[in-house]
Amino acid sequence: MPTPSIPVIAIDGPTASGKGTVAQRVAARLGFHYLDSGALYRLTALSALRKGIDLGAEHALAKLAAALPCSFQGEHILLGQEDVTAAIRAEEVGNAASQIAILTPVRKALYGLQLGCRKAPGLVADGRDMGTVIFPHARLKVFLTASAEARAERRYKQLIDKGFSASMDDLLKDLQARDARDSQREVAPLKPAEGANVLDTSDMTADQAVEQVLSWFAVIKN
C-alpha cells in the first residue's frame, strides 16, 4: 500500500470543467506526479472499439482494462508503442468511455492501477471519483464545475484546435447526456466528495483556478 504520508490532491468534476488542465498545472507547480484517471477509461474504450468488443460486455471489457498496455510519458499517452494522446480525445471515444465507466468490473479492474500512481513527493489526480472512491483520504479534495454551456464552448475549441470537426449543439447535448449518466450511475456517481472545495470555473481562466487550488493546498499543508 502507498505510504499515507504521501500527499494527494484529488480534483473531480464533469467533462470539460477544466480539471485536466488545472490538475496538470498544479502538479507541475508542486513537482508532483499527475494521474489522468479519465484517460484510463478512454484507453479502455479505444481498445474496445478497435477490437470490436461490445460496450456492454462488462467481463470482456474488465479483462481488457486489467491488461491495458498503457504508459504516460509527460503529456503523451501511449497504448503499447502507439501515441494515442489525440485519438483518445475523439468524441466517439469519450462517449464510449462514459458508457463503460458505469460497469463495476471495469472500475474494479482499474482501481489498483490508479492507487499505484500515488508516489513521492505527491500526486495530483483528476477524474470523477478521485475524492469519493479512489483517494477518500486525499489531503485536498476539489470539485471543479462549470455551466454546460461554458463547458460545451471549451470542448468545441479543444476539438477544433486539435483538428477534429465539431458541432456546438451536438456537444452540448452530449455533455448533458454524459452528466446525467455519470451522476446517476450506481457505482461511484459523479458528485463532490465529503469535505471537497467546490470551484465554479464558468467565468474563470485556468490560471485563476490553479492559483485557487494552490492557495487551498498551502493552507492545508501549513
Query: Which residue ranges are tagged as binding site for ATP?
Result: 13-21
> What is the Cα–Cα distance from 110 to 199, expressed in whole angstroms?
27
> What is the Cα–Cα distance from 65 to 22, expressed in whole angstroms?
26
If we measure between CA atoms, which residue out of 13, 14, 12, 11 comes closest to residue 179?
Answer: 14
C-alpha pair distances (Å), 109 with each of 92, 104, 170, 176, 205: 22, 9, 31, 27, 35
Q: Which residues are annotated as a binding site?
A: 13-21
- Which 3 state secondary structure label does DSSP give 102? coil
SS3 content of the chain, % helix, strand, coil (to 5): 50, 15, 35
If we measure between CA atoms, which residue out of 37, 30, 217 comes closest to residue 130?
Answer: 37
Q: What is the 3-state secondary structure (H, E, C) of 147-172?
A: CHHHHHHHHHHHHHHCCCCCCHHHHH
Region of 63 please: left (phi>0), alpha (psi -120 to 50) or beta. Answer: alpha
